Structure 1
Amino acid sequence: MHAASARPAAPARRTPPAPTAPKPDGTRLTGVVTMVGSGLSNQTGAAIGSLAFPVLGPVGVVAVRQYVAAVVLLAVGRPRLRTFTWAQWWPVVLLALVFGTMNLSLYTAIDRIGLGLAVTLEFLGPLSIALAASRRRVDACCAVIAAAGVVTLMRPRPSADFLGMGLGLLAAGCWASYILLNRTVGRRIPGAAGSAAAAGLSALLFLPVGVAVAVRHPPTPTAVGCAVAAGVLSSAVPCLADLFTLRRVPAPAFGLFMSVNPVLAGLVGWIVLGQSLDWTEWTGIGAVVAANVLGILAARS
C-alpha cells in the first residue's frame, strides 16, 4: 500500500484536536526526518518480505503483513469502534480496502519486475498528488524532473512484464488514495485509532486468504519470520509514521518528498537482494534526488 510516530489515542473525555496548518519550523523538520525513516523502513521490509516469496508467495506475505500491522496498530491506537460515527467510518473502510489492495498489488509487482521498478511505478501515486496540487512554478518543475527520472528508470526493455507494470500502476493509484484517506482519517479520529481500525479491518478481510495459503503451501519458520519482519517494517512503522507526518507537512510536500522511495528501493534492492542498477538507472535516480532537493530548498526559502 506505499502507510505508518503518532500520538497515543486521546482519552474519550478530551475533545479531538482541530486540524491546524503545518508549521514550518522544528515541527516540519521532524516530519521530514520521519518521512525518511518511514521510506527506509518500508523498502527494507519489502526486500525482506520478498525472500519469503518462494514459500508463501506474494499473497501469503501480504496476508502476514496485514496481520502484523493490525496487531501492532490496534495495540497502539486502541480504537473505540462503537463510538465511531458514519463520517469517521467511511474513510476508515476505504482506507482498509486501499491498504490491502496497495500491498497486494505492490508485492505481486515486486515478484514479477523487481523491487526497484515496482517501487518506481508505485511512486507515480504521490507524484500525481504533487502535480495536481501544485501552485508554484518551482513545484511543477520539481515534479517534472522527478517524472523524467521515473520514466528513465522504467524505460521499455525486451523482457518487459506488462502485467507486473500494470500492478505497479495499480499500487500507485492506491498509494495516492492512501495519502488522501490517511490525512482525512487523521483529521477525524484522534491519535492512531483510525489507522488501527483500518488495519484491523484489512487483516480481517485477509484472514481467509492466509488460511488458504497456509493449507496449500505449509510455511517454514524462516518464511514466516521474513513475512513478519515485512509486516513490522513495511506496514506498522510506515503507517504510524505517515499519520504523524501528514499532520505536520502539506500533502503535496509529502508526495514530492516521497520521491526518495525509488532511491531507497534501488539501494535496498542492491544491498539486500543483490539487484544491481546500470548507469542509466542511477541517472534516473539522480534526477529524482535533484527534484527532491530543489523542492525542499524552495519550500524553506
Structure 2
Amino acid sequence: MTATPRSAAPFRLPPVPSLLLAAVSIQGGAALAKTLFPAFGPPAVASLRVLLAAVILALIWRPQLAQVSRAGWRALLPYGVALGIMNLTYYLSLERIPLALAVTLEFVGPLGVALLASRRALDFVWAALAAAGLLCIVPWPGAAARLDPVGMILALTAGVCWGVYIWAGGRVAQVFAGPQGVALGMSIAALTVLPFGVVLGSQHHAWNHLSLPAILTALGVAVLSSALPYSLEMAALRTLPARVFGILMSLEPAVAAVVGLIFLGEHLKALQWLAIACVMAASAGVTLTGARTGEVVAEV
C-alpha cells in the first residue's frame, strides 16, 4: 500500500524569535522614518506612516462602519486619538533625542499603567528603579551632552498617550471581536494626525519632496512599524503567556539602542545606558511580579 503524501505544514516562526523580530521591525521602522525627517519633517512623516498603516489594516480586515454601535464609537475615539497623538509626539521627539532614549522615556506610559493597577509593595521598588533611570537622563544644568528637554517632554507625552492607548484598548477589546477595532482605531489615528501633517508639513515644504521613492519609503515605515510587528505579536500571543510577552517587550529600549547605533550612528553615554537598563529592569520586574491576570496591549 502506498503512503499518502502529507502536505507540508506552513512554516511558523517560534514565539520568542517572533517577538524579537517584531521589536527589531518596530525600531527599524522608526530609524527609517527618521531618515525622512530632513525632507519632510516629523509631522508629515507621522501622517504618512499612520495613514498608510490605516489603509493596510483596512484592506486586510475590512471593518464595517455601519455595524459600529454608539458604544463602539465611544470606545474607539479615545483609543484612536491617543494612538495618533502618541505617534506624532514620538516622531517629534525623535528629531531631538536619540531613538533609544525616546523609547526608554516612552516606556514610562505602560510602566505607569502597570504600577497604578497593582497593589503590591514590591512594585514601589520597580517604580523607584524606573525613577532612578529617568534621573540618569534628566538634562541637569551644566551637565555635558545634555539632552534636549523639549525632546524629553515630547517622548514622555508619547508615553502618557501609550498609557491611555492601553487603557482604551481594553475597552475596545470588550466591544470588538478580533482586529476590527484596531483597524478602525488606526483610521481615527490617521484623521487625528493628518491635519498636523498637512499644516506643519506645508510650512516645512514637505510636499515639494513627495515622490514615488519617498512614498515607498513611507510605506516601508508603515509595514515595519505596524503591519509586520502586529502580525508577529498576534501569532506569538497564541502560544506565549502574556507575562512572557511583557518581559520580552521590555527589551525594546535595548533593541532601539542597537538599531540607533547601527543605522543612525547614535552613540550613547554610559549614564544613558544605565538609564535604559534601569527602565528595562523595572518594566520586566513589574511584568514578572505583577498580577497574573490582565491584558497586554502591543504598541502599534
Query: Does the alignment reach a TM-score above 0.5?
Result: yes
Separation (CA, whole Å) in 2 of partners of 1:48 and 1:155: 27
The structure with the largest alpha-carbon Rg is 2
Give the distance between the partners of 2:256 and 2:23, measured in 1 at CA: 9
CA drift of 1:74 comes to: 0.9
d(CA) in 2 for partners of 1:241 and 1:95? 22
Q: Report the Cα distance in structure 1 between the residues aligned to 2:125 and 2:244, rounded to whole angstroms.
A: 14
Once the 2 structures are TM-superposed, how far is the Cα of residue 72 of structure 1 from its aligned partner? 1.5
Q: 1:278 maps to what in 2?
A: 269
Shift of 1:151: 3.0
Structure 1 match to 2:30 = 46
State the distance in 1 between where 2:156 and 2:34 align: 19
Instruction: Structure 1 unaligned segments of length 5 or more: list them.
Output: 1-28
Please, which moves more after superposition, 275-284 or 200-209? 200-209
Instruction: Work out whether residues 72 and 236 of structure 1, in 8 Å CA contact, stay in contact via their aligned partners in 2.
Output: yes
Correspondence for 1:165 = 152
Q: Which moved more, 1:76-85 or 1:137-146?
A: 137-146
CA–CA distance in structure 2, aligned partners of residues 234 and 151 of structure 1: 29
Structure 2, unaligned stretches of length 5 or more? 1-13, 293-300
1:232 pairs with 2:219: no
Stretch deviating more after TM superposition (63-72 or 275-284):
275-284
Which residue of 2 is the match for residue 4 of structure 1? none
Q: 1:209 to 1:139 in 2, by over 3 A?
A: closer
Aligned pairs for 1:1-301 (under 5 A) are: 30=15, 36-154=20-138, 156=140, 157=143, 159-207=146-194, 210=197, 213=201, 216-217=205-206, 218=208, 219-238=210-229, 258-292=249-283, 294=285, 298=289
Q: Is the 8 A contact 2:139 2:148 kept in 1?
A: no
Comparing 210-219 with 157-166, which one deviates more in the overlay? 210-219
State the match for 1:11 in structure 2: none
Q: Across the two proteins, how many residue pairs are aligned to each other?
A: 271
TM-score, scaled relative to structure 1? 0.76
Question: Does the aligned pair in 1 maintain the 2:115–2:286 contact within 8 Å?
Answer: no
How far off is 1:111 after superposition? 0.2
Decide whether the 8 Å contact of 1:73 with 1:196 is kept in 2: yes
Q: Per-residue deviation at 1:163?
A: 1.9
For 1:183 and 1:292, how far apart are their aligned partners in 2?
A: 19
Aligned-pair Cα RMSD in Å: 3.3
Distance 2:291 2:36 in 1: 42
| Contact preservation (8 Å) 2:49, 2:221 | yes
Whether the 8 Å contact between 1:192 and 1:243 is mirrored in structure 2 is no
1:39 deviates by: 3.1
* C-alpha distance after superposition, 1:187-230 (max 9, x if no partner): 21011101101112332444455555379332244443332222
User: Given that residues 250 and 284 in structure 2 are in contact (C-alpha distance below 8 angstroms), is that contact kept between their aligned partners in structure 1?
Assistant: no
